[in-house]
Amino acid sequence: MDFATAKAVIDGIQGPFRIQLAGGEPLLNFDLVKRIYAYAKQQRKKVLLALQTNGTLLTPGIAKELKEMNISVGVSLDGPPEVNEQLRGKTGEVIRGIKYLAEYGINVNLTCVISVHNIGYLPLLVDYAFYLGNVKGIGLDLLRKTGNALENAVPEASPDEISHYLTEAYQRTKYFYQKTGRHIVIREIASARKRLERGIAAHGYCLAAVGKAAVVLPNGQVYPCGSLAGRPAYLMGQITEPLKCRGIPLPNNYFPLCETCSYGKICSRGCPARAIINNEDTCFSLQDCAVRKTAFQIVEKEKRFTK
Query: 262-287: per-residue pLDDT in tens?
Result: 998 888 888 888 888 888 766 678 89
* pLDDT digit string, tens, across residues 136-163: 999 999 998 887 777 778 899 999 999 9
pLDDT at 269: 82
- The per-residue pLDDT of the chain, averaged, comes to 92
Question: Is the pLDDT reported for residue 307 higher than 50?
Answer: no
Confidence of residue 199 (pLDDT cuts 50, 70, 90): confident
Average pLDDT over residues 109-115: 96
* pLDDT digit string, tens, across residues 212-270: 899 999 999 999 999 999 999 999 999 989 889 998 888 766 667 788 889 988 888 88
pLDDT at 124: 98
Confidence of residue 303 (pLDDT cuts 50, 70, 90): confident
Give CA angle at 23 (19, 26), nearest 5°.
75
Q: How many CA atoms lie within 13 A of 159 on its CB side?
A: 10
Question: Is the pLDDT reported for residue 116 higher than 60?
Answer: yes
Average pLDDT over residues 299-304: 85
Question: Is the pLDDT reported for residue 23 higher than 50?
Answer: yes
pLDDT at 258: 81
Question: Is the pLDDT reported for residue 190 higher than 90?
Answer: yes
Q: Which residues of 42-56 are buried (b: 16+ CB within 10 A; e: fewer)?
A: eeebebebebbbbbb
Average pLDDT over residues 175-185: 96
Count of C-beta atoms within a 10 Å radius of residue 105: 9
pLDDT at 305: 54
* pLDDT digit string, tens, across residues 44-84: 999 999 999 999 999 999 999 999 999 999 999 999 999 99
| CATH class (in words) of the domain with range 3-198 | alpha beta
The alpha helices in 115-242, defined as continuous H runs, are: 122-132, 147-151, 159-180, 187-198
CATH 3.20.20.70 location in the chain:
3-198
DSSP string, 258-283: GGT-TTTTT-----HHHHHHTT-SSS
For the whole prediction, is pTM greater than 0.85? yes
